[in-house]
């Protein structure tokens, strides 16, 4: 586990904080050119303005932060993260080296089931500490907002326990804020088949989750071998009826028709989607569904490397995220950026757009404030990078590119 010491500047939140002497400012606001402004004025938890000169503030009571000519980019949004689980699955790498696929390993009782067992055996205190340490690591790598899925409980009792833990993490201060997703439909335990578990979800688990008020979204692993199109549709429609936003895992290993269901249901985001055919991608786009690519997964699985050229050529909007889970062990958005910039020729700007503006579309804040952008009125979430060049955000995969972070108005420095 990582222990990262955070140092908070003791600034009362009613005061202005002015981040000045910016080397390059990449706001991701389409209306502003890259280097507009030398300073960001923050008031309370919001960006008040972006200015070229701080003269008028110099004699005020404002707290001045000299960023030393460093670059600033928006805080990253991790729009797909399986945050809370215990144990690990590094033993499975050997099976992969012997030629076994993710599907084979799951069939042998490994995969998600191995993690469900270790998670159920852990105490609430352990899971809370694990979640907190992972959030700190995500923040250290520039993530200021994160979607966190349950899905390693797989019974009403254990799924609610995980949602409760995420809820406790939500109230921690000085950590990324969280969008909480219930993913009871992630796999089945040996006492069930998919049909009987779907019935249990619909009659018992989902009603209890809705009663708890702990989930913002519902997600289903819709893939041949896991939840069928019909089962996914039943769970998602009932979840929407109960007021939840919808997300899906689709077409991760093969085109299983999940993308089409995503478009039909107009879900917020259809993730993985590496095997979704082009006509379905276009239908998804027309239905307003965000495609959420997760290149960390084929990287760790050793699966065929995705190609984003056709998707870019069709101007299909997509986000990217970590998919942090025992089989994709990274909480670093800059690492994901590095993968696609170095291996796919995606530009640092386009990759940054995926983890800020596009991620904000699929993963909005519950207070309605804009995020993933540096502009007047948006939440004051941004990263001060170690370099003066904003492109560095995705160029240092073995260490965090982030020097310090403004998190909801608080300047957080790392030791
Ligand atoms: O998004 N594919 C389904 N769920 C996760 C993996 C979960 C696991 O292997 O533990 C994913 O990759
Ligand atoms: Fe996932």
Is residue 54 in some structural domain? yes
The protein residue with its alpha carbon nearest to ligand 1, atom 3, reads 221
Tell me: pLDDT of 346 over 90.
yes
- Which numbered atom of ligand 1 lies nearest the CA of 111? 9
* Ligand 1: centre distance to CA 186 (Å): 8
* Ligand 1: centre distance to CA 112 (Å): 7
* Candidate from 221, 232, 247, 274 with most ligand 1 atoms within 8 A of CB, to mutate: 221
Same domain, residue pair 333 and 203: yes
Same domain, residue pair 50 and 197: no
Same domain, residue pair 164 and 241: yes
Interval 253-285: pLDDT, tens: 999 999 999 999 999 999 999 999 999 999 999
In this prediction, residue 15 carries a pLDDT of 83
* Candidate from 151, 328, 329, 336 with most ligand 1 atoms within 8 A of CB, to mutate: 328
In this prediction, residue 3 carries a pLDDT of 45
* Ligand 2: centre distance to CA 40 (Å): 35
In this prediction, residue 30 carries a pLDDT of 83
Domain count, the chain: 2
Is residue 367 in some structural domain? no
Same domain, residue pair 176 and 48: no
* Ligand 1: centre distance to CA 237 (Å): 22
Same domain, residue pair 318 and 395: no
Is residue 296 in some structural domain? yes
The protein residue with its alpha carbon nearest to ligand 1, atom 11, reads 323
Is residue 264 in some structural domain? yes
Same domain, residue pair 58 and 81: no
Tell me: pLDDT of 74 over 90.
yes
Same domain, residue pair 405 and 267: no
Interval 364-389: pLDDT, tens: 999 999 999 999 999 999 999 999 99
pTM recorded for the entire structure: 0.96
* Candidate from 83, 106, 186 with most ligand 1 atoms within 8 A of CB, to mutate: 186
| Percent of the chain's residues with pLDDT above 90 | 92
| CATH code of 379's domain | 2.30.40.10
Average pLDDT score over the chain: 95
* Ligand 2: centre distance to CA 79 (Å): 10
Is residue 210 in some structural domain? yes
Same domain, residue pair 168 and 142: yes
pLDDT band for position 250 (50/70/90)?
Answer: very high
* Ligand 1: centre distance to CA 9 (Å): 38
Ligand with an atom nearest the CA of residue 326: 1
- Which numbered atom of ligand 1 lies nearest the CA of 85? 10
* Ligand 2: centre distance to CA 245 (Å): 16
The protein residue with its alpha carbon nearest to ligand 1, atom 8, reads 112
Same domain, residue pair 331 and 387: no
Is residue 1 in some structural domain? no
* Candidate from 249, 292, 296 with most ligand 1 atoms within 8 A of CB, to mutate: 249
Same domain, residue pair 80 and 198: yes
Same domain, residue pair 385 and 248: no
* Ligand 1: centre distance to CA 75 (Å): 25
3-state secondary structure the chain: CCCCCEEECCCCCCCEEEEECCCCECCCCCCCCCCCCCEEEEECCEEEEEECCCHHHCCCCCEEEECCCCCEEECEEECCECCCCCCCCCCHHHHHHCCCCHHHHHHCCCCHHHHHHHHHCCCHHHHHHHHHHHHHHHHHCCEEEEEEECCCCCCHHHHHHHHHHHHHHHCCCCCCEEEEEEEEECCCCCCCCHHHHHHHHHHHHHHHHHHHCCCCEEEEEECCCCECHHHHHHHHHHHHHCCCEEEEEECCCCCCCHHHHHHHHCCCEEEECCCCCHHHHHHHHHCCCEEEECCHHHHHHCCCCCCCHHHHHCCCCEEECCCEECCECCCCHHHHHHHHHHHHCCCHHHHHHHHHHHHHHHCCCCCCCCCCCCCCCCECCEEEECCCCHHHHHCCCCCCCEEEEEECCEEEEEC
Is residue 269 in some structural domain? yes
Tell me: pLDDT of 401 over 60.
yes
* Ligand 1: centre distance to CA 34 (Å): 37
Interval 133-169: pLDDT, tens: 999 999 999 999 999 999 999 999 999 999 999 999 9
Same domain, residue pair 284 and 350: yes
What residue numbers bound the domain in which 399 lies? 6-75+372-414
| CATH code of 228's domain | 3.20.20.140
Tell me: pLDDT of 36 over 90.
no
Residues having CB within 6 Å of any atom of ligand 1: 82, 111-112, 115, 221, 249, 252, 297, 323, 325-328
């Amino acid at each position: 586990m990582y222990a990262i010491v955070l140092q908070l500047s003791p600034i009362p939140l009613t005061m202005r904080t002015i981040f000045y002497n910016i080397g390059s400012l990449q706001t991701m606001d389409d209306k502003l050119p890259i280097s507009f402004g030398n300073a960001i004025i923050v008031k309370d938890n919001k960006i008040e303005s972006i200015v070229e000169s701080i003269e008028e503030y110099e004699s005020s009571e404002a707290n001045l932060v000299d960023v030393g000519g460093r670059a600033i980019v928006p805080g990253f949004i991790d729009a797909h993260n399986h945050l809370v689980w215990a144990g690990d699955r590094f033993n499975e790498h050997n099976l992969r080296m012997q030629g076994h696929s993710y599907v084979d390993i799951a069939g042998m009782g490994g995969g998600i089931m191995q993690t469900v067992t270790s998670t159920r055996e852990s105490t609430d205190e352990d899971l809370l500490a694990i979640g907190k340490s992972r959030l700190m690591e995500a923040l250290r790598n520039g993530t200021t907002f994160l979607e966190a899925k349950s899905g390693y409980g797989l019974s009403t009792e254990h799924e609610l326990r995980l949602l409760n833990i995420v809820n406790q993490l939500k109230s921690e201060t000085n950590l990324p804020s969280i969008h909480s997703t219930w993913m009871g439909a992630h796999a089945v335990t040996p006492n069930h088949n998919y049909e009987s578990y779907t019935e249990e979800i619909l009659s018992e688990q989902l009603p209890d989750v809705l009663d708890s008020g702990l989930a913002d979204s519902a997600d289903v692993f819709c893939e041949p071998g896991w939840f069928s199109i019909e089962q996914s549709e039943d769970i998602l429609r009932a979840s929407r009826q109960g007021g939840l936003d919808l997300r899906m895992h689709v077409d991760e290993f093969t085109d299983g028709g999940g993308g089409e269901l995503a478009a039909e249901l107009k879900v917020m985001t259809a993730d993985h989607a590496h095997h979704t055919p082009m006509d379905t991608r276009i239908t998804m786009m027309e239905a307003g569904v965000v495609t959420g690519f997760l290149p960390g997964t084929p990287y760790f699985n050793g699966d065929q490397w995705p190609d984003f050229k056709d998707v870019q050529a069709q101007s299909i909007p997509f986000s990217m995220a970590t998919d942090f889970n025992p089989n994709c062990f990274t909480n670093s958005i800059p690492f994901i950026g590095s993968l696609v910039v170095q291996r796919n020729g995606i530009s640092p700007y386009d990759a940054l757009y995926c983890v800020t503006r596009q991620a904000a579309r699929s993963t909005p804040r519950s207070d309605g404030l804009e995020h993933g952008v540096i502009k007047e009125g948006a939440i004051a979430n941004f990263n001060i990078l170690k370099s003066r060049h904003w492109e560095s955000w995705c160029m240092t995969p073995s260490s965090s590119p982030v020097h310090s972070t403004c998190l909801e108005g608080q300047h957080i420095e790392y030791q």
